[in-house]
Amino acid sequence: MTLNIDNPALLCSQSLINGEWRHAADGRRLAVTNPASGELIAEVPDCTPQDAQAAVDAAQKAFAVFRHGVAKERAALLKRWHGLVMANQEDLARLMSLEQGKPLAESRTEVAYGASYIEWFAEEAKRADGDIIPQQSQNHRLLVIRQPVGVVAAITPWNFPMAMLARKIAPAIAAGCAVVCKPAEDTPLTALAMAKLLQQAGAPAGLINVLTTSRERAGPLADVWLADARVRKISFTGSTAVGKHLARESAGTLKRLSLELGGNAPFIVFDDADIDAAVAGLMVAKFRNAGQTCICPNRVYVQQAVYERFIGKLAEKVGSLTIGPAAGGRAEIGPLINARAVEKVEQHLKDALEQGARLVVGGQRHACPDAPNGHFFTPTVVADVTAAMRMSCEETFGPVVPVTSFATEAEVVEMANATPFGLAAYFYSRDIDRIWEVAEAIEAGMVAVNDGALSTEIAPFGGIKDSGYGREGSRYGLDEYMNIKYIRHGSLARRLPG
Ligand code: NAP
């Protein structure tokens, strides 16, 4: 797939620091390749700790001014950005599909989804209300105001290169913060294009800084932000291991943290469920982005009475998915992000089959005639999976559905909760008592009942346990970027009679 976009200015090959497009301090470059073909798309700077420092200097300078602006101006900036993002939806989608691999239709949806957060926080900016607390005597008044936390470091993963960035930058700006941002090594181009549009929308120099780096330099670059006391908040989406590292290393400067980490979502089908609806819901939840989403079901539990029927219907749907590069336009399943991702899927599958799991459909790499060097894997269903298998304990992050049978409600709730993770969970049932009981008993930040889709800008997105803390989107999302300040106004005298 060659890059065919109407607005060539969106293909940026430099990082944005202090309103200037720059090379890395030492000039080193990083190759960005198409996961469907292995072809080189572009080169971007492989930024250094020195660049990270320059970005914080710029952000702090911008913050010193921006923090004094009014909410209406911040809302207007975000609305202009939202307008530009949607006006460039097709180009952004093409750029994203090229570097990330997901089908074009999914990229278009992601751009609209990410933009919905920008629009939402443009509106929320104006609702960062404070409080007046009833005083305990007449000679004082108590007020609460909300203020921006300061410079925010946003670190994002490759699986949703546009939406994860928008979900962080939009609330930060709505709150009055400045941002230093590091996108994933595999998908820097979408982030740079988003920054270009924010600049066009009128963001002042230094308000948004985007630094691209290789995996090798990600740690040293982020270490600068972790150690710098001027960075008051880290908003991270990625693996639990890196999230814990950030939490540990930012303790020295006690930064605020939002950690959107890994998941291991259960998907439960009770015997009273509408089986066709459950299969349809699972297809939506599981196969978006070829199974490379943090909230996609990683463990499917089906009650014994409907177990084989469910597997039969599921296998039929999974077997008919079309696989191919985004360029084809018809593919439902694109390539995995890189060779390591395919190897991980293979290892999980091998481990399960060696321990007695049953392969129902799929199970091997997919050789795509249009893209012989692509990292494709055939959509797969494995039955009779047990808790001891790797695919039950770790995120497989690929198009594989492991299915396990269960007998009772109590048993499946215990199985669902037997994981250190707690991001998303799904279940299908038509029993109203069961619905409430199970929804409340499941240990997860988000639960979908009789639905395969969870994510929306108007609801709080986030996890518990090893899936992290903090919420993105919704009326709760802005709080992550604001400090609460209590102001006590004392020594007041009453002058009016009565
Ligand atoms: P990752 O390895 O943790 O990478 C995420 C980001 O952190 C990337 O930008 C990465 O840069 C950077 N990074 C790596 N090492 C770092 C370090 N020492 N210090 C600071 N930053 C560092 O995760 P991933 O494998 O790319 O992404 C998949 C994971 O993200 C999965 O576990 C998935 O569940 C999770 N995820 C969670 C959510 C959610 O909302 N909860 C959403 C999407 C994804 P490089 O790319 O350069 O290594």
Q: Is 226 in the pocket of ligand 1 (CB under 6 A)?
A: no
* Ligand 1 atom closest to the CA of 463, numbered from 1: 41
Ligand 1: centre distance to CA 208 (Å): 20
Q: Is 260 in the pocket of ligand 1 (CB under 6 A)?
A: yes
Q: Is 326 in the pocket of ligand 1 (CB under 6 A)?
A: no
CB atoms near residue 9 (< 10 Å):
12
Give catalytic status of residue 294 as yes or no: yes
- Between CA 70 and CA 73 the distance in angstroms is 6
* Ligand 1 atom closest to the CA of 158, numbered from 1: 26
Taking the CA atoms of residue 159, residue 469, residue 296 and residue 298 in that order, the dihedral angle to the nearest 10 degrees is: 120
Nearest C-alpha neighbor of 76 from the set 114, 18, 126, 112: 126
Residue type, 134: P
Of 12, 181, 294, 368, which is the active-site residue? 294
Q: Is 110 in the pocket of ligand 1 (CB under 6 A)?
A: no
Ligand 1: centre distance to CA 220 (Å): 15
Contact 422/318 with Cβ under 8 angstroms?
A: no
- Between CA 333 and CA 348 the distance in angstroms is 19
Ligand 1: centre distance to CA 261 (Å): 8
Tens digit of pLDDT for each residue in 399-432? 999 999 999 999 999 999 999 999 999 999 999 9
Residue with tokens 């039929």: 316
Ligand 1: centre distance to CA 79 (Å): 28
Please indicate, yes or no, whether the overall pTM of this predicted structure exceeds 0.85. Answer: yes
Question: Best mutation site among 155, 225, 343 for ligand 1, i.e. most ligand atoms within 8 A of its Cβ?
Answer: 155
Atom 18 (ligand 1) nearest CA: 219
* Ligand 1 atom closest to the CA of 467, numbered from 1: 41
Ramachandran angles phi, psi of 363, nearest 5°: 105, 5
- Between CA 394 and CA 310 the distance in angstroms is 24
CB atoms near residue 256 (< 10 Å):
18
Of 106, 185, 260, 395, which is the active-site residue? 260
Tokens of 360: 């129902």
Residues of the chain with pLDDT under 70: 1-2, 328
Question: Which pLDDT score, from 0 to 100, does residue 67 have?
Answer: 97
- Between CA 48 and CA 26 the distance in angstroms is 7
Give the rounded distance of the alpha carbon of 444 from its chain centre.
16
Question: Best mutation site among 99, 110, 213, 242 for ligand 1, i.e. most ligand atoms within 8 A of its Cβ?
Answer: 242
* Ligand 1 atom closest to the CA of 468, numbered from 1: 41
Q: Is 318 in the pocket of ligand 1 (CB under 6 A)?
A: no
Q: Are strands 141-148 and 482-489 parallel, antiparallel or unpaired?
A: antiparallel
Ligand 1: centre distance to CA 293 (Å): 12
Ligand 1: centre distance to CA 187 (Å): 12
Q: Is 245 in the pocket of ligand 1 (CB under 6 A)?
A: yes
Radius of gyration of the chain (CA): 24
Nearest C-alpha neighbor of 385 from the set 405, 411, 404: 404
Ligand 1: centre distance to CA 50 (Å): 22
* Ligand 1 atom closest to the CA of 472, numbered from 1: 40
Question: Which pLDDT score, from 0 to 100, does residue 1 have?
Answer: 53
- Between CA 350 and CA 343 the distance in angstroms is 10
Q: Is 157 in the pocket of ligand 1 (CB under 6 A)?
A: yes
